[in-house]
Structure 1
């Protein structure tokens, strides 16, 4: 009998559908769709074992599902769970290596193959329950093709079943049952061979009798045909004889042998005698054949009786053959049970070895625990020293910050000293120049007396024009704390990296120290560059202040406005140089931060915004130059007659300057917002980088714990994990990192 792998699953479903119809259920079970609701299968299970599948269990199956595939799947889940529980709890069997049916395909798509698997499980429950003989007899009454498929399904299902063993006490009962089953199987095999031999002999006898019967029937038919022919010939001869007798009476005497009639009469008489002899002979043969035919009919009746007996024996042989198939399945099951018994015996033998190994491992575990306790003590000591080292490092960082602040203050004081000294020199020179101008002015005082009042008014009108200078706003755009904040962030990142690397092996300490020295040297270089930039900024601020003072003092002089323009251009050029240097420093600092690639786009946008602000400042400078040129032209063309008409034009210039101041003020606000946004983004980037470093450090620590604690107990590994977490007392959260 072939396995179920060669049987079509759809054919299996059709055969099991025919088998399920023998239960006589209330629900219809003609097609596959009738079984997808699960009601038919639940009723069949209740007929198989009404004690286990009670009415309470049946009540959980929803009867009215209609086309709702979700309710069908729910019913099928309950039926499948009931089948598996019945196999495990009642039949004490567990189905292994058997593909369970996909109830989703059955409920939603009415899949015949998966429904066949479901019915196969129900078939296994039927042939293994207490009334299994009744169900086996019912299977024997089915058609031969259906019976073959059902038996193949039973064989596959039994090959997947594994009995639940109770313990070592049941081995003796199982051995006795196996021996009894093997003896019954051997007796059944011997009986089957005898019955098969007897059936073969009876088949041969029936075949020979049938051949002899056919041969005699053919001979009887031939004899009947010959007798009929002879009777016809006899009738014709008698008619001819009658005619001849009539003719003889009418003709001459037949006694004369020399006459033609006499010769013909003699010839016919001789022929008549021969025919009579042949007729007697044929009648005798006919009687013999009739007797033989009666004997053959008696033999045929006897053979028919024997044939009926042989038919009943053949049916019995078929029944025995089916029982042999069942016994063969039992035999396969017995062989599997024997193999399982042998495997369990080997496992019992191995169990003693495993117990000895467990004792050895427990001893080793005790030694490992002692080593673990000692290592934990060392780790605690190391954590104490690590905490002290962290406090020392924080103190060093604070001292370095204080040192940098003091150095900045010192540089600022030195620059203030130089600026004041230069200012004193310039004032001395200005004093000398003013003395010379005083002498010249005494000579021209009489000439300028007439226009003195007008020049005073013009100077008072130009003072607010010059006093509203936007140099303060230009200087305000140069934000010096950015580089300082980035340095603090780099320093904080360096500290975080040092904290992350403290938990690694001692081999990395030398490398970290070298990296720290490089970072410190780089930090010192950046601080030096920052000092130079600050000095330049302070110089620019001082020059702007000087320009403002000079504008306030000399705003009424046209020649001095040209000098003011030159100084302003030189000042703006210096501001551009400082701005370009600041941009270079920012780009260089950004190159030192390769991990911040995610924020590069935002930085570029901010740089574009700064460039736009620079362009706006250039435009404002151009407008300022135009205003200066216009003021110069007004001063050149100013005379006493046009004094009254110049007041509206001066007022227009004042309005334009006020509008320019408002625009500069709005640009300063935009710049402050952009700066605050960029600072916030940098803080978020530093916080993300810090969290990533801590996550990598934690992962590395867990990997080391996993590699070193694989042979230790659970409590020992937990102690190591706890001590590892305690080894980072200076770990700040994301909020503290952001605050820094």
Structure 2
């Protein structure tokens, strides 16, 4: 209600405490209706009869369409959230599979190294078997020769004279006995030396196997580090491309600089790990085996070459960092960082766009609902005015003073009949 129009002056024109006086009641209602008509005519600029009645069914259909669209957008939002969670799970699975692949590669290298060692041992045992067979054959031949010589000596001793034979028999066994004792002592010494040599050989072989195992592990780690370096190199190239395209795409450069710094730190860590592995290989180098020394020298040469490659790569990374800094200086520092991957960023952009659409639809729905409420109020007021007019007509007829009411109701009736006639004229046949 407009308080500026329906004020105390307007209320003062209405007589209170009419009681059972129908004339006062009719007069009050008449004044109220007249003032309301004047208000609609003067303030709103139109009559109640000319007010357009909205199509409620059309509004209901629009509201239903908006609700269906809202439900569809909510369903798409749920699907997008499900896709995002599925994408995160796939990323975790890829990371786990990559870790499993690295561990399986390490195990495969270990088993390959064990197989190589067993194969070498098998070949060494075959050679030892052949050597023992050849020694057995030579010992058999020597034994046969000694038996023949002993038989010849016995025959020569029997044919000699008695005195000379007794003297020879007394002298020769003593010399043979000393020779046998000496040979036995030498044999014991040689056996002890052989045993010590075998122990030392076993220790050296164990040490060599351990060194080979450590070297193989270090080579595997070196290969994995090389793969990581290759990946880092590709990532740096991607970052360089992103920096070159940053002027057109308006991406933030501080995040790229952080990524470059992280990759450089990883590169330095890999370089330090390679240096430590090279020191371990130098410590594990056996001095007795010349072949192993040659292999380790070759590995050291490979490591030196890799160190040189690492230095070249580090210099290349420094150049990339300098280029990135120059690009960063030319960029606008007020740009917002995009710290998410492009897939997640695209999903987030879609979600934000759908949220904006939902908000826009909700705003339209609120406007439609407010308009619908206003139209309902206008319809109710029109029906109320019509009812009051009819009531005033009936009251005027009953009270016997239809002069003034007849004029007012006549105006309303004439306008209503004219509107109905106009509507009937334009209805389709």
Query: Fold conserved (TM > 0.5)?
Result: no
Q: With a CA cutoff of 8 Å and minimum separation of 6, indicate the structure with the bigger relative contact order.
A: 2
Q: TM-score, structure 1 length as denominator? A: 0.19
